Structure 1
Amino acid sequence: MKHTIAKLAVAVPLLASLGVQASSHREAPLITEMPKVDATDFYMFNSYESGREGFVTLVANYLPLQDAYGGPNYFTLANDALYEIHVDNDADAVEDITFQFRFTTEIRAVALSIGGEDVQVPLAQVGGVGPARADNENLNVIESYTVDMIRGDRRSGIRESVVSAADGTARFMKPVDNIGNKTLPDYKAYADSHIYAVTIPDCGEGRLFVGQRKEGFVVNLGETFDLINTDPVGPVDGEENTLDDKNVTSLSLEVPIACLTAGDATVIGGWTTASLRQARILNPSPNARGKAGKPAFVGGGAYTQVSRLGAPLVNEVVIGLPDKDRFNHSEPKDDGQFALYVTNPTLPALIEILFPGVLAPTVFPRSDLVAVFLTGVDGLNMPVDVVASEMLRLNTAIPAVGPASQSELGVLGNDLAGFPNGRRPGDDVVDIALRAVMGVLLDEADAPAGQLPYTDGAFVDASYFDTSFPYLKTPLAGSLSE
């Protein structure tokens, strides 16, 4: 156990890549221009809801920093994008299974009779909504989506639809965002009615939910990127979470473990991506009225990946600024091009510059980080014959730990079911990564300040989340007025 934890701790910075903050919100120059396809967090863990042993939960969050009051249009996803969750189950750095989400937004063109004329209303709703998903007659904007499971290459593999276990339909409804208590007096019940039991091809039943959630990433964001304008070894204070007033959009899928693994192998790798058409032409006369409306732009050409996220914080604080867009466009099989950022990480040096009394580790190249970052940890979540590549890795054979017994420090807290063995919502990846990158388990000669209790000051654990699927909490309401 101690040997495994030691190897892991040095690795976490790489897998989380270092910690100091904001899992993947606005992490690269290009993605700041297209927030609807900006992946913010990716979770992959053995389901710990009571009675759901034998399942893995996959959650891909998109569209960061949502203010709950962000009307009148709120936060729809992109109709021209492919949102995908990929699984590699044979350790060759290429996807074997892809779950592909496609969205459709219908503008219903609700009109009111004004002086004898039918005039379109300017709002997303004209009355109360819910609590059942069928109670949408007052919605002016309705989002729906499909999910395909693709075996093999994400573009040319065998494609089959994920369908409702209740009626076999392949189209699902996305709940409207939490506009406020007058429009949605019981948002939790309304959102819960959009949790679907689904049939996954050749896998049996799972569960599916797509919709707005309360932001689950906890971090002292502003101070961190203001040259770490906080005490890096100060107390952990639950009030320091900059993102506590934000929402996010989650794509959540619970899948039988046997569906994701191959043969006797128990370790899977996972990551999420979003892709857009290469070409985009603006429509000089857009008109979104009805299903036959004219979009604001049309796209053409091959799909091009513009967002990528596996382990948290990698593109945020490990990849150098000139290569951030390149990383978002790349695939795990090509990760050798970023090796220098791993062998000679800059974050410890930056911390030493900002806090002269704190000495960075002196081991170069960081071959220990290379091994963990690209392969998983031997004895924990490293597959046999692994091809070096960056992704979140989960050993599905390690049993889930109930929320009351989870350590927010994951493996560093002797909880082998936590980060970096997959990632649960309550894993404090920031503190884990900070302590690891500064050498918490290295020899003192190699990491003179490695034993300091590094933290961003923000606290998180499993109690911040629900104990059942989809785990992330009900989103904040845009209006709290009764």
Structure 2
Amino acid sequence: MKRLGRVALAATLALTVGMPLPVQASSHREAPFITEHPKVDGTDFYMFRSYEAGKSGMTVLIANYLPLQDSYGGPNYFSLDPNALYEIHIDNNGDAKEDITFQFRFQNTLNDLKLNVQGKNVSVPLRNIGVVAAGNDANLNEKETYTCKVVKGDRRTGTVASVTNAADGSATFTKPYDYVGNKTFTSQAGYDAYAAQYIYTINLPGSTSTGRLFVGQRADPFPVNLGEVFDLVNTNPVGPSNGELNIISDKNVTTIALEIPTDYLTNAGANPIIGGWTTASLRQARLLTATPTFSQPDKEGGAWTQVSRLGMPVVNE
């Protein structure tokens, strides 16, 4: 639940990479259909030049999904959809079509941990059965991993290559378990240390430069108080900014964060302006099965079909 810094609303999605202009877009459950598919609901998109010391040549991309996560929302918590395709698109020549796409797919693995109950080893349905800490996730019953690929050109027909872990060359990354509470992680600091080990330095295909990658639960940075706004705009716009209850102050989102060399995103330096947006897609067909399993609760197939798109600031809201 570590809070991301809030970024001021921008008037356009275009990012002038020579200037540290922030870009923000926001959307929470903005349409009837997406309310039925919260795991693929894109909520926020941020794109800005890194303001960390020594990183002026880096651009940060942050895509948030699965809005309004309740703190300590057990027992299932908030894994992403293994049957979905999550994407961040970059246009670097001004034609409003993607030139670079970062694609994310997720997978959940059940460890089938068991406890001895009256002499019998019984499978436990919970996602963890004991303390979890940095370097020790043996008590996790479910592990969530993901891959990240870069597509150059059209998102479906372009050239595809995998992003890899600079430490070991692996193309599979781990998403940290959600912050379920202080008994599991001993403290907020304990969770911070646990989650920090999943900030990866990455190799980018076609480049000798490296970037950074993280996917995990973060505090919802959305600056609009949804409860008051949709209660007939029940707020005082001239009052103090902290004068009213923020109903989403304890809500979380799942963040996909990339830190990428700016030169990797621009059109070989020919155009210093880039645009960006996010999407989520599902397969066209879904068939429910009478014999579901953990790894295959249903059967899905067909072409990828876009169900969520986010680009311009607060347009959907």
TM-score under structure 2 length normalisation: 0.89
What are the equivalent positions in structure 2 for 1:272-283 lying under 5 Å apart? 272-283=278-289
Match of 1:177 in 2: 178
Whether the aligned pair in 1 keeps the contact of 2:60 and 2:260 (CA below 8 Å) is yes
| SS of residue matched to 2:79 | coil
Q: Is the counterpart of residue 90 in structure 1 residue 85 in structure 2?
A: no
Question: Deviations 1:351-406 (Å, cap 9, x if unpaired)?
Answer: xxxxxxxxxxxxxxxxxxxxxxxxxxxxxxxxxxxxxxxxxxxxxxxxxxxxxxxx
Give the unaligned 5+ runs of structure 1: 1-8, 16-21, 317-482
| d(CA) in 2 for partners of 1:283, 1:192 | 39
| d(CA) in 1 for partners of 2:281, 2:170 | 25
Identical aligned residues as a percent: 58
What are the equivalent positions in structure 2 for 1:283-298 lying under 5 Å apart? 283-288=289-294, 293=295, 295-298=296-299
Match of 1:201 in 2: 205
Match of 1:230 in 2: 235
Question: Deviations 1:196-215 (Å, cap 9, x if unpaired)?
Answer: 00001123100000000111
Q: Is the counterpart of residue 261 in structure 1 residue 262 in structure 2?
A: no
The alpha carbon displacement at 1:165 in A equals: 0.6
Counterpart selection for 1:242 from 227, 241, 247: 247
Q: Any runs of at least 4 consecutive aligned residues in structure 1 with deviations exceeding 4 A, and if so which?
A: none
Q: Is the counterpart of residue 44 in structure 1 residue 47 in structure 2?
A: yes
Match of 1:118 in 2: 121
What are the equivalent positions in structure 2 for 1:308-347 lying under 5 Å apart? 308-316=309-317
Give the unaligned 5+ runs of structure 2: 1-8, 14-24
Match of 1:155 in 2: 156
Q: Is the counterpart of residue 303 in structure 1 residue 304 in structure 2?
A: yes
TM-score under structure 1 length normalisation: 0.59
Question: Deviations 1:131-161 (Å, cap 9, x if unpaired)?
Answer: 23xx211100100000000000101110000
Whether the aligned pair in 2 keeps the contact of 1:218 and 1:241 (CA below 8 Å) is no
Counterpart selection for 2:217 from 208, 212, 221: 212
The alpha carbon displacement at 1:232 in A equals: 3.0
Whether the aligned pair in 2 keeps the contact of 1:218 and 1:242 (CA below 8 Å) is no
Question: Deviations 1:214-270 (Å, cap 9, x if unpaired)?
Answer: 111122221111111122333322654321111110000000000000142100000
The alpha carbon displacement at 1:296 in A equals: 1.5
| d(CA) in 2 for partners of 1:302, 1:264 | 34
Q: Is the counterpart of residue 99 in structure 1 residue 105 in structure 2?
A: no
How many residue pairs were aligned? 294
Whether the aligned pair in 2 keeps the contact of 1:219 and 1:242 (CA below 8 Å) is no
| SS of residue matched to 2:148 | strand
Amino acid at match of 1:190: Y
Q: Is the counterpart of residue 77 in structure 1 residue 80 in structure 2?
A: yes
The alpha carbon displacement at 1:117 in A equals: 2.5
| SS of residue matched to 1:314 | coil
| d(CA) in 1 for partners of 2:130, 2:237 | 49
| d(CA) in 1 for partners of 2:44, 2:103 | 17
Amino acid at match of 1:140: N
| d(CA) in 2 for partners of 1:239, 1:177 | 28
Question: Deviations 1:266-324 (Å, cap 9, x if unpaired)?
Answer: 00000000000000011212121xxxx4x2111011000000001221122xxxxxxxx
Amino acid at match of 2:203: T
